[in-house]
């Protein structure tokens, strides 16, 4: 048995606990069923940003599914727990080892934090290290120079992307659920098609004017 932190209240509990003895939060006993508090920052691959360990914010998490949104591009994903998924605080514990190529140490730390095999943990830290190397090459920054310079340039790129999207969607309605402006008008043809296909069950959509491409809701 080992001691872990409750993701809800942050207090020490047994890794065998099914719920936190302090606050009652459900605790997963395997990497495949981790439950995160809404708003938790986690690392996960983002195909749109092209980053292996992009920053995502958890929107919803339960025993069967965890959904999160990328902070960089706004992409929504359903988390695949065959991959290593760490919170921001967990990743910070191995970040220096990954950057300095102490991959075995980083992998062992992952195993101590979550339930996964060594190969899965090692492949994860190896890819993270390769990503650091790729970023150094992309921005022409020699290894062991200040990493904040790399992170600053990534933040600038994400900010430029955010401003570009903001301008692109400036005339769109804001989604009341996820607050994205990546929305589009629901056409009359689309409404009519819904009525033909779903009949009375499409009444809800007929009364909606906008569709959110981000969280897929109509409003």
Domain range summary for the chain, segments of one domain joined by +: 1-33, 37-168, 183-212
Count of Cβ atoms closer than 10 Å to residue 150 Cβ: 17
Distance CA 163, CA 184 (A): 18
pTM for the full predicted model: 0.55
Q: How far is CA 7 from CA 21, 59, 113, 197, 213, in A?
A: 12, 15, 12, 44, 30
Residue 195 clears pLDDT 50, i.e. is over it:
no
Mean pLDDT check: name the lowest of 31-35, 44-48, 114-118, 181-185.
31-35
Determine the number of helices (DSSP H) and then strands (DSSP E) in the chain.
Answer: 7, 8
pLDDT of residue 58: 92
Mean pLDDT check: name the lowest of 1-15, 62-76, 184-198.
184-198
Q: In this predicted model, what pLDDT tens digit does every residue of 37-62 receive, in sequence order?
A: 888 999 888 888 777 888 899 998 88
In contact, 97 and 106? CB cutoff 8 Å: yes
Distance CA 190, CA 4 (A): 50
Residue 197 clears pLDDT 80, i.e. is over it:
no
> What number of CA atoms fall less than 13 Å from residue 191's CA on the CB side?
15
Max CA distance (Å), the chain: 63
- In terms of phi and psi (left: phi > 0; alpha: psi -120 to 50; beta: otherwise), the region of 50 is left
């Amino acid at each position: 048995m080992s001691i872990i932190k409750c993701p809800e209240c942050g207090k020490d509990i047994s890794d065998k606990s099914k719920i936190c003895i302090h606050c009652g939060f459900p605790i997963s006993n395997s990497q495949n069923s981790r439950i995160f508090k809404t708003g938790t920052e986690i690392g996960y691959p983002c195909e749109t940003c092209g980053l292996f360990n992009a920053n995502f914010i958890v929107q919803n998490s339960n025993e069967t599914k965890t959904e999160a949104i990328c902070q960089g591009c706004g992409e929504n994903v359903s988390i695949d727990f065959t991959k290593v998924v760490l919170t921001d605080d967990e990743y910070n514990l191995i970040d220096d080892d990954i950057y300095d190529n102490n991959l075995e140490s980083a992998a062992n730390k992952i195993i101590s934090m979550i339930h996964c095999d060594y190969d899965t943990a090692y492949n994860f830290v190896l890819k993270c290290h390769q990503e650091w190397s790729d970023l150094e090459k992309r921005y022409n920054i020699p290894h062991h120079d200040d990493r904040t310079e790399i992170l600053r340039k990534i933040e600038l790129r994400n900010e430029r992307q955010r401003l570009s999207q903001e301008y692109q969607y400036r005339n769109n309605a804001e989604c009341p659920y996820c607050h994205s402006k990546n929305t589009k008008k629901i056409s009359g043809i689309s409404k009519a098609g819904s009525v033909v296909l779903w009949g009375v069950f499409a009444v809800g959509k007929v009364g909606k004017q906008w569709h959110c491409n981000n969280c897929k809701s109509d409003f």
